[in-house]
Amino acid sequence: MFKFFMLIFFVLISGCREGDYMLVYKDPETVEVPVYIEVEVPIPTGTPAEEVEIWVDSFVQVRAVDGVDIIWVIDTSGSMSQYQDNLLAGIDHMMNALPLGGWRLVMIPTDPNKSVIEQQFPLVPGDTIIDAEDMYRAMLSGPNEKGFDSVFEYIEHNPYAASWMRHDAALLVVFVSDEDDQSDILVGSHDFIGWYVPRRFGNVYLASIVMKESQDSLCPGSPGSQAGLAYIDATNILFGTVVDICSDDWAPGVADATSQIEPYEYLELSHKPIPDTIRVFIDGLPNHDWSYDEPSNSIIFSIIPGGGSLVEAGYVIKP
């Protein structure tokens, strides 16, 4: 459904009653949330503390918005021609997965010199894959692979973009490239995030269809040097979806990216928990407005968490 933020936690016995454990962040520098969260919950009877494995799944709740503006930022270099069919199929899948109304979708190149003068009106509800193909073929192309700068130039300096983009709609950017970002203005993921997050009052989302690192990529050979590390890092910061560009079917990942703009009513857990050990926090505070559904291995919220809140569920993994 969506990409979960996951950390493995230490098991600490000192200071706890016998049979309890405490959740403490192992690496507080990986996220911009309080340094630690702790709560005492029962360890299964007869289980040595050193054998307890604890997991946390989390997400940031979507804010309620009227509509979403979507920008696909597409690498137009020669090596990308092999992904054309997957690209168009992915855009088609996103169009079909979006709500019936309220969305607008445009494609721009990763070349900021071209995106700043791109003047195609976006796709809207009722448009078809044929319209998407026409937009893709008419899109300006250039040799630069500067996705961050391209989005910046399009939004900040392209008068045509200002004519259709809406200040009160959410914003979803999808990067598609078989190379890492090479921007000159917004250098690196943190520069981009620093500029991007304040847009739309924080109602901004990211997805990346890029080459992953060698150990995770489906691409042949050793693509590590071409991995889209900056795109991946920026996307992970916003809990977005990363799709391997060499995947035969982008549809599942595109569906995950699309779901980012719809409020989450449940949290599908990454592992099977011992139900009695589940603890849920919203913005660091304990929450009890939920139930655990074993068949779907999900936490179902009786009161949907508010927009922008950080929702975390910690639990002991069932042996």
**DSSP, residue by residue, 244-297:** ETT-S--HHHHHHHHHTTS--SEEE-SS-B-GGG-EEEETTEEE--EEEETTTT
Model pLDDT, residue 162: 94
Cβ atoms < 10 Å from Cβ of 184: 10
Model pLDDT, residue 254: 85
Nearest C-alpha neighbor of 75 from the set 158, 146, 1, 160: 146
Model pLDDT, residue 27: 39
Q: State the Cα–Cα distance between residues 210 and 179, nearest whole angstrom.
A: 7
Nearest C-alpha neighbor of 102 from the set 131, 70, 136: 70
**Residue 24 C-beta-side C-alpha neighbours within 13 Å:** 8
Cβ atoms < 10 Å from Cβ of 263: 15
Model pLDDT, residue 44: 60
Cβ atoms < 10 Å from Cβ of 196: 23
Model pLDDT, residue 18: 33
Percent of the chain with pLDDT over 90: 48
Q: Which residues of the chain have pLDDT under 50?
A: 1-39, 222-225
- Are the C-beta atoms of residues 210 and 178 closer than 8 Å to each other? yes
Please give the C-alpha separations between residue 4 and each of 58, 59, 198, in angstroms, as whole numbers: 6, 6, 23
Model pLDDT, residue 96: 83
Model pLDDT, residue 12: 34
Model pLDDT, residue 37: 43
Model pLDDT, residue 176: 93
User: Could you identify the residue written with the tokens 């190149």?
Assistant: 109
Is the domain defined by 68-259 classed in CATH 3.40.50.410? Answer: yes
Model pLDDT, residue 58: 86
Structure tokens at 159: 């008068």
Beta bridge partners of 55: 8, 315
Q: Where in the chain is the domain with CATH 3.40.50.410?
A: 68-259
